[in-house]
A and B are shown apart, each in its own frame.
Chain A
Amino acid sequence: MENAISLSVTEPAGLKPAALKGYDRVYLGSEFCQNKLPTAAAFLKLEKLFGGPVTLVTPLLTDGGLDQAAALVKALCAVKRRRPLEVVVNDWGLLRLLKRNKAARPVLGRLLMWEIGEMDKPFLNAFLREYRAAGVETDDPEVLAKLKGVSGPVHFHYPFRFKSVTRFCSYIRDFNSARCRLECGPAFVRLSSRAIPEPIYMQGNAYFIPNKPLRHPLVKRLVKTSVKE
């Protein structure tokens, strides 16, 4: 089982190598907000600090975000690596862009898996081959159960399960195609209400509930989100 840690874009600054000890891989970026893509310099610096594989994480993208993500992938692919750059993709458009980029391999992210998980498995496996997907991701046992028969490895996220996302950011009171100064930070904010039995947690423009790592024959990688209170 591979163990990965997922860092928010603001976390690598001041990060000590000891904080990454015990992990086989580091994720950097955001699955939910296009304003939280790292710079190429920050990504390369983290690769150097960690000394192991680093995965670029990308969200749903508007045209502006897609241009930014494409430029970032291009800059990162200009650097020689032993293996192709791994990119977690949550957008059909970016997936299409990566199709012919041999220096990068997509992993289908948690958002796309809600679209894909239930698909006819022969179609899904052919689709994964066509797009050279290195794996698929989820955080939900329900989606995992539907993935029986999938040909690639499954990566499982914890300690939070994604529940919802908005493009209208509560921090900047604007759509996340507008620029921001990452006012949200990496913190998970606990939200409670009498009307729901358990609290939910907000990080940036996405909402979550607690989740536990899941051992399952299909799961080949556990991805732990770094959590700041």
Chain B
Amino acid sequence: MKFTVGVKSAEEARYFLDNGADELYCGLAGLLNNRLPRENLPGAEAAAEIVRLAGRRRVFLAVNEIVPAALYGRALDTLRWLGRRGLFGVILRDPAFLSFLRRERFRSYVTLSTLALCFNRRALEFFAELGVDRLVLPMQMTPENAAYALKNRLGIETEVFCQRLYYGVNVDSMCFLPCPQTAEDGARKFPDFTCLLPFRSAGGGYRMPMPGPEYMMNAFYDFYHGGADYVKVARWPNTLRQADLFLKVRYLVKLLDKGISRRLFVHEGLKLDSKPLEYGKSFAYRPAPAAGLRA
């Protein structure tokens, strides 16, 4: 299982490349993707710099939102410009934009974003016809649900999250509740993650549910042994938090590479301080300088 890591600066790229990232991805300001604007690079030149730093390792650009038609031309120009500089692939979600790229004979490795609603074998065929080379499995897909995707005969690679360390309470692309990541009221972001709030109801207190840590550890074990090709460590506003996640995922994969039993793996994983429910608190924008990362 290889490591795909999101970065928001050249400093982060250096750090993750030095520490075992097999490939990187990034986003550009002005080219829609599913992260805070500040988590994007300022321009294509900055992405080209990351491609240069990565050398022979692959770099992807995330354009994983629905792309308005007015942006098609500019997006294609940027992708072609970066392609000439060694960009390996693009992370997409929008069937219309995928079709546009095919019509324009733009050739690149295409990763289908976890945000695409691809939960079954026919949906995978739908996207395979649009030229997808890899599927990032939605977080709310269990290993049993993903059995076909993991063993597909369409030549599509698969990428997963380590759910114990990164989990979305609701279906990622189908959540329109206010949160710091998406809700905007002018320049103001909503301060809380609605999905993490304690609610009151006539029946008593309520929290939006998520599976327990044991399920998540077992799921990662099953995805690994089911043949998932990549594990993704997503971009994060707080660099040190992301580095911490990365090192923990790397540790878990190392255990799996050594052939650890399921029971021991779950036992070891449960000892990790993961607290996915704290992702709300860790969402403050704190880019760390290179020196900080090395420390």
In the complex, how many angstroms separate the beta carbon of B136 from the nearest chain A beta carbon? 15
Whether a CB of chain B sits under 8 angstroms from the CB of A65 is: yes
* Cross-chain contact of A127 among B96, B100, B174, B198 (Cβ < 8 A): B96
Q: A115-B95, A119-B66, A175-B211 are contacts. A191–B176 as well, Cβ < 8 Å?
A: no
Interface residues of B in 155-190 (CB under 8 A from A): 169-171, 173-178
Chain B residues within 8 Å of A18, by CB: none
CA distance A169 to B170 in the complex (A): 10
Interface residues of A in 162-212 (CB under 8 A from B): 162-170, 173-175, 177, 189-193, 195-196, 200, 202, 207
Chain A residues within 8 Å of B173, by CB: 114-115
Whether a CB of chain B sits under 8 angstroms from the CB of A111 is: yes
Chain A residues within 8 Å of B68, by CB: 118, 120
Q: A115-B66, A166-B140 are contacts. A191–B199 as well, Cβ < 8 Å?
A: yes
Chain A residues within 8 Å of B126, by CB: 92-93, 95-96
Please tell me if the beta carbons of B117 and A111 are within 8 angstroms of each other in the complex: yes
Whether a CB of chain B sits under 8 angstroms from the CB of A66 is: yes
CA distance A60 to B123 in the complex (A): 10
In the complex, how many angstroms separate the beta carbon of B69 from the nearest chain A beta carbon? 3
Count A-B pairs with CB separation below 8 Å. 160
Chain B residues within 8 Å of A66, by CB: 120-122
Whether a CB of chain B sits under 8 angstroms from the CB of A61 is: yes
CA distance A120 to B127 in the complex (A): 18
Interface residues of A in 110-125 (CB under 8 A from B): 111-112, 114-121, 123-124
Chain B residues within 8 Å of A196, by CB: 178, 192, 194, 197
Whether a CB of chain B sits under 8 angstroms from the CB of A42 is: no
* Cross-chain contact of B142 among A93, A164, A177, A192 (Cβ < 8 A): A177
Please tell me if the beta carbons of A91 and B123 are within 8 angstroms of each other in the complex: yes
* Cross-chain contact of B209 among A173, A190, A193 (Cβ < 8 A): A173
Q: A60-B171, A120-B100 are contacts. A92–B122 as well, Cβ < 8 Å?
A: yes
Whether a CB of chain A sits under 8 angstroms from the CB of B203 is: yes
Q: Which of B55-63, B144-152, B241-249, B271-279 contacts A (4 or more CB under 8 A)?
A: B144-152
- Name the residue of chain A whose CB is nearest to the CB of B176: A163
- Name the residue of chain A whose CB is nearest to the CB of B169: A166
Whether a CB of chain A sits under 8 angstroms from the CB of B44 is: no
Interface residues of A in 67-119 (CB under 8 A from B): 90-97, 111-112, 114-119
Q: A127-B96, A163-B176 are contacts. A193–B200 as well, Cβ < 8 Å?
A: yes
Chain A residues within 8 Å of B118, by CB: 92
Q: A93-B126, A119-B69 are contacts. A189–B145 as well, Cβ < 8 Å?
A: no
CA distance A118 to B206 in the complex (A): 34
Whether a CB of chain B sits under 8 angstroms from the CB of A62 is: yes
Proximity bits, B96-135, A CB within 8 Å = 1, else 0: 1001100000000000000011111111111100000000
In the complex, how many angstroms separate the beta carbon of A227 from the nearest chain B beta carbon? 15
Please tell me if the beta carbons of A120 and B174 are within 8 angstroms of each other in the complex: no
Please tell me if the beta carbons of A119 and B96 are within 8 angstroms of each other in the complex: yes
Whether a CB of chain A sits under 8 angstroms from the CB of B284 is: no
Q: A119-B69, A120-B69 are contacts. A93–B140 as well, Cβ < 8 Å?
A: no
CA distance A208 to B209 in the complex (A): 16
- Name the residue of chain B whose CB is nearest to the CB of A70: B122
Please tell me if the beta carbons of B96 and A91 are within 8 angstroms of each other in the complex: no
Chain B residues within 8 Å of A91, by CB: 117, 119-120, 123
Please tell me if the beta carbons of B144 and A177 are within 8 angstroms of each other in the complex: yes
Whether a CB of chain A sits under 8 angstroms from the CB of B12 is: no
Chain A residues within 8 Å of B142, by CB: 175, 177
Chain A residues within 8 Å of B96, by CB: 116, 119-120, 123-124, 127
Q: A93-B122, A120-B72, A166-B140 are contacts. A115–B208 as well, Cβ < 8 Å?
A: no
* Cβ-closest 9 pairs across A and B: A93-B122, A120-B69, A93-B123, A191-B199, A119-B96, A92-B123, A167-B140, A164-B175, A93-B120
Binding site for A on B (CB under 8 A): 66, 68-69, 72, 93-96, 99-100, 116-127, 140-142, 144-145, 147-148, 169-171, 173-178, 191-192, 194-195, 197-203, 206, 208-211
Binding site for B on A (CB under 8 A): 60-66, 90-97, 111-112, 114-121, 123-124, 127, 162-170, 173-175, 177, 189-193, 195-196, 200, 202, 207
Task: Given contact pairs A62-B141, A93-B123, A193-B200, enumerate 11 new A-B contacts (beta carbons under 8 Å).
Answer: A61-B119, A64-B145, A93-B119, A93-B124, A112-B117, A164-B194, A189-B202, A192-B199, A193-B197, A202-B201, A207-B177
